[in-house]
Structure 1
Amino acid sequence: MGNPVFITGDIARQVFDWRDAVAALQAVYAQPFGPGACPPRIVAQQGPSWLRALPSNPPGCRYFGAKLMGAAMNVAQPSVDYVIVLFDRETSRIAGFLDANLVTAYRTAATSASAFDKLAPHKPLRLGVIGSGLEASMHTRAFSAMRDLEEVAVYSTTPARREAFAQKLSDELGLPVRPAATPQEAVGDADIVLTAARSHDETPILFADWLPEKAMVVSIGSTIPQQREIDASVIARADLIVCDMLEEVLHETGDMLAAVANGIDVSSRAISLNDLMNGSASDRVAAAQRPMFKSVGGGVQDVVVGGAILDRAIAAGLAAPLPFQFEGKAL
């Protein structure tokens, strides 16, 4: 039995594959989850310091484990470190640790792409992006791995950032990516609309009357009650809402809480990502004209994508063994 290994962000970047990650997520979400397989996130807070844990024991997966992140906000330059700890079912021991900053962006975009692959039409698509940060760029890469994109239009509030985004992604993906002067211009003729940027004052950044009749919306920016990204009108417009963590999306995100406060029946049009993948909602999916995918992130995504990266790094001889073993305790 070897020592546990450590996977740096640079190693993750070298071995990561979008299609591999999407296939792994689709396979796991297609299986039935036991009641304790993916519990809600846990937050421990004392004064200005906090720790968040996202545990998961996903079915049909070699690994189980958790992502931990924490910060002390009273230091001169606070920052957040992320780590994924993976246990191996075959040995009952810790298999590895992953620097999870980059992996978090990979898993978020790969999860959206796993839903996108089931909901988006099989034809060249126009993608409208609001946001120009890491998540926006990762999602553009993920979507381009699953479908042909005939054009990408991007808007963010800083012209230099949206122009840099357009240049970088155009060069990297070989796609026509253009900066848009307004969010309406970015989404006005899109087949798929991605929102990956909350406003500083938490006012919505996307409204239903900007959208083409049958555009699909992917929203990832509102993950707690205090955050807003899309207007309630966008949720009212959707005839199917696929949620990665159904209860958390419906009851713990600012966008859904605002929609409910506006009298919108959200629950009746919502299904889980498991329902999408296992086919139990196939009739509703087939009938949907204006689907939405709403993500808050979950430990199952960290474990599944982290495990795929761990396996690829080991196979490539890039995983760094740590100079120790845990003592362990016999059960």
Structure 2
Amino acid sequence: MKGVLLINLGSPESPTPKDVKPYLDEFLMDKYVIDVPYLLRALLVRGIILRNRPEKAASAYAKIWWEEGSPLVVISKRMHEKVKPQVNVPVALAMRYGNPSLLSGLQELANKGVTEVLLFPLYPHHAMSSTTTVLEKAEEIRKQHFPNMKFSHVPAFYNKPDYIQNLADSIKKHLDQFDYDHLLFSYHGLPERHIRKTDITTKDCKIDGSCCQTPSPCHEFCYRHQCYETTKLVVEKLGIPKEKYSQTFQSRLAGDKWLEPYTDVEVNKMPEKGIKNLAVVTPAFVADCLETLEEIAMEANHQFKEHGGENFLAIPCLNDSDEWCATVSNWITDWSSAKSE
């Protein structure tokens, strides 16, 4: 019997340091997130970061927390509930970190007799710190608890026509109500070394401004290329001229060099360039979360206006929109139908 596991990032149980600390520990101790040897990772995370980061992060989470809980988890659950009746196979929901856990999601499917699972990471773009860690952790759990299960997975869908159409339609709906000077595509940032580590050719990735536009097998796993491709396909569909949009990367940490240009730096420069009305979309996420609600809708909004900007629009993620849920349901149905032939 076939079944599907929808998987998103996860969230603390509450916006308190007590609950944020174990969540950050699980997240930051992941070897695919901070990709250094274990002892150094433990020193950085448990010896330095977790001493003060939980309080700061809890304060940020508190700003965006909903009465029902974490926005990311609540939205993911709403999406899950909309998808279930539209497909003919069992669908469960899990988070890579926190709850509902990957183990609980797989157990839910196993209890329904599922032996063949489609892992569906809810990440449009491939990255070792998102897609790879989900697939590796799920496989680890399968070997330990469900050795007779078989896995397949949904690859990055950054350029799939249905996803691009959903994204373009959502952006257009909001821009039709906002007289914008500029549309900024802000993607989650990554250390540059992560991009190079996923280069299966070991030579094509140069992060030099041209390699992402030059055909290469490495693009199948290149987060940077996939982000630029999403932007290109969306602006082509919407007919947005080059001078009215740009792309940046957000959420960098101090230390290593991260993907550029940086969202906060570029947003702060825009008012002096004559951009007074700014719209920002965050296509790396399918559900609104800390990075979209606090970092963009609150912090970037504030900084833009502090530097002379006038109007700021944070375009919501696809979330549990009917159109996006229908797309996910159609992909699941295509998979289940193809496998049963």
Higher strand share: 1
Higher helix share: 2
Bucket of the pairwise TM-score, normalised by the shorter protein: 0.3 to 0.5
TM norm structure 2: 0.34
TM norm structure 1: 0.35
